[in-house]
Amino acid sequence: MSDDTLETYIRQLLESHQGPKVQVAWQGGEPTLMQLAFFRRAVELVERHRRPGQLIEHSIQTNGTLLDDDWCRFFKQHRFLVGLSVDGPRELHDRYRVDRLGQGTFSRVLQGWLHLRRHGVEFNILCTIHAANQQHGRAIYRFLRDELDARWIQFIPIVERIGGQTIPTDDQDQRLPSEKTRPLYTQSGSMVTRRSVDPAQYGQFLVDVFEEWVRNDVGRVFVQQFDVALEACFGRHLLCVHAPECGYGPALEYNGDLYCCDHYVEPNFLLGNIHQTHMLALVAGERQRAFGQHKLTSLSSKCRQCALLQWCNGGCPKDRFVPSPEGDADQNYLCPGYVRFFSHAQPAMQCMVDLLQRGRPAPGVMAWMAQRDAAGGPYQACSCGSGRKFRFCHGARAPASPFEGSGCHFNGNRDGDSAAVRVRDDKQG
C-alpha cells in the first residue's frame, strides 16, 4: 500500500465517523508482513487527521510469528488490541498453521504471545475450527483459558467452498501456487475442502465449550458466540453473521479498492476506489445497502420458518450453498451446527435473560447449573450429549488431556511449552 493510499484511507475513515469512537482495524493476509514502520506511519497519520475529541481504538489481527519486543512496545504505547490466531495446543495448531516450508508455527506463535504478555499488551484469541481440531472443543478452550490466560475468545468455523474453477486448496499441500498460476478465489462451488469443519461437529464443538463455560466462567471469560447469542435474546446483534442484515465491514485492498466484505474480495463485489470516491459514499451507497439487505431477502424457506431464526438469522451468505431437504438451493452449510448449538444453549440462555431482567448478574447461571448437576447426580448422562456419565465428562474438573506427552501440553519441557510455564511462574512470583 502506497503512502498516498494509506493517508487517503485514514483521512476518509476518520471523516466518515460522526461519533467520538473510531476503530482502526488491521487484518490480512498477515498484516505484520508490512513491518513496523508502516504501522508507525499509520498511527502518525491517525494523529494528524483525527478531530479533537475523537477516540481511536487500534486493533490488529495477527498470527503472532513476527512479534518481538519492538512490536509489543509499539502496541503497548498506542494501546492496540491484538487478536492472536491460535488453533489450540501444538498438535492441533500445527496441523494447518504452517509456514511456506510446511513447518508448524506453534513455537513461534507462543514466543509472540510471550512478548505480548511481557509488555502487558491487551490481546484476545481467534481460534479457527476445522477438520483437525473440531473434536476437541473443551481441551482447546481449557488450553486457551488456562495456559494462554485468554479472557476473550472467538471461534471461527473454516468453510472453504470449492468447485472446479476455484483454487485447489488441499490439506495435503499447503504451498500456494505462484501468483501467475493462482486462480482468483471466489465464493462459488458446492463442495468444501477436506480441512473444512464438519457442520454438525461445529455445533458440537460449541456445545463442548459452552458446557465448560456455563459451569465455571460466566463473567470471567468472554466467548464471542455466547455473547452474541445472549444479546440476540434482547434483540441486539453484535456479529454480522447472526444479524438480520450485514454489510458494515467492507475490506480495503492495497490499491484503494473497496469491497463489500473481506469474504467477497472479488470483481462482482467491488464498490469502487477511495481515490475516486469517498469511502463514506461507497459504504452508504445503494450497492452496499443491497449487499447487506440481500442477507435477509435471500433467506431460505427453511430459515424463514426456523424457530431459531432470532439467534441465527441464517448465518453468513458466503456459507449458503447446500440444498436443504425442503428443496432450498442455498441453505447454510453450517445449519446442522447452528441448530445443535442454539437449541442446546436455550435453557441456560433463558436463565441468564431472567437474571438480567431481574437486575441480577448473568454469572448467577452457574449456581443454577450447579443445582441441576447436583439434582441429577454424578452418574447421570452428561448434558453435552457425549453419552458419557457426567462425572467422567463435563463433571470432571480436570480430565486427562488427550494431548498429554504430545509436545503440546504445558508441563512438558519442549521450547514453546517451557516458555508458557515460565510465564505462569512469573505471574505466581
Between vectors from CA 183 to CA 182 and to CA 188, what angle results, nearest 5°? Answer: 145
CB of 428 to ligand SF4, least distance (A): 41
Give 385 or 399: the residue with its C-beta nearer to ligand SF4.
385
Size of the site for ligand SF4 (CB under 6 A): 23
Considering only residues 64, 137, 315, 407, which one is a binding residue for ligand SF4 as defined by CB under 6 A? 315
Binding to ligand SF4 by residue 294, rule CB under 6 A?
no
204 part of the interface to ligand SF4, by CB under 6 A: no
Cell numbers for 103: 513447518
CA 24 distance to own-chain centroid? 18
Choosing from 70, 146, 262, 426, which is the catalytic residue?
A: 262
What is the pattern of x (binds ligand SF4, CB under 6 A) and - over residues 322-341?
A: ----------x--x--xx--
- d(CA 380, CA 207) in angstroms, rounded, equals 18
Residue type, 193: T
Q: Please identify, using beta-carbon distances, which residue of 197 and 246 lies nearer to ligand SF4.
A: 246
Q: How far is the CB of 149 from ligand SF4 (least distance, A)?
A: 29
Q: Quote the CA–CA distance of 311 and 309 in Å, as a whole number.
A: 5
At residue 136, the 3 state secondary structure works out as coil
For 79-126, give the DSSP string: T-EEEEE--SSHHHHHHH-B-TTS-B-HHHHHHHHHHHHHTT-EEEEE
Considering beta carbons, is residue 264 or 410 the nearer one to ligand SF4?
Answer: 264
Which residue, 307 or 381, has its beta carbon nearer to ligand SF4?
307
- By CB under 6 A, tell whether 196 contacts ligand SF4: no
Q: Is 309 in the site for ligand SF4 (CB under 6 A)?
A: yes
Q: At what angle do helices 335-357 and 365-376 cross, to 10 degrees?
A: 110
* Residue from 151, 263, 372, 389 in contact with ligand SF4 (CB under 6 A): 263
Q: Which residues contact 76 (CB under 8 A, 6 or more apart)?
A: 119, 120, 121
Of residues 56, 230, 306, 393, which one binds ligand SF4 by CB under 6 A? Answer: 306
Closer to ligand SF4 by CB, 54 or 310: give it: 310
Which residues, at least 6 apart from 164, have a Cβ–Cβ distance to it below 8 Å?
189
Distances (CA, A) of 282 to 105, 248, 265, 273, 355: 38, 11, 15, 8, 42
- Contact criterion met (CB below 8 Å) for 201 and 339: no
Nearer to ligand SF4, 42 or 303 (CB): 303
Dihedral sign (CA 231, 233, 235, 241): positive
Q: 86: Cβ–Cβ under 8 A, 6 or more apart, which residues?
A: 64, 93, 109, 113, 125, 126, 127, 144, 148
Is 208 in the active site?
no
- Report the residue from 303, 345, 382, 408 that binds ligand SF4 according to the rule CB under 6 A: 303
287 part of the interface to ligand SF4, by CB under 6 A = no
Residue 412 falls in which region: left (phi positive, over 0), alpha (psi -120 to 50) or beta: beta
HSE-CB of 184 using CA atoms within 13 angstroms: 9
For the bound state, the minimum distance from the C-beta of residue 299 to ligand SF4, rounded and expressed in Å, comes to 7
Query: In the range 149-168, which residues lie near ligand SF4 by CB under 6 A?
Result: none
Interface characters, 233-262, with ligand SF4 (x: CB under 6 A): -------xx----xx-x-----------x-
The window from 144-152, 200-208, 279-287, 301-309 that contacts ligand SF4 (CB under 6 A) reads 301-309
Residue 84 or 232 having the CB closest to ligand SF4: 232
125 lies in the binding site for ligand SF4 (CB under 6 A): no
Q: Which part of the chain contacts ligand SF4 (CB under 6 A), choosing from 46-54, 83-91, 174-182, 303-311? A: 303-311
DSSP bridge partners of 129: 157
| Interaction site with ligand SF4 (CB under 6 A) | 240-241, 246-247, 249, 261, 263, 295, 302-303, 306, 308-309, 312, 314-318, 332, 335, 338-339
Catalytic residues: 262
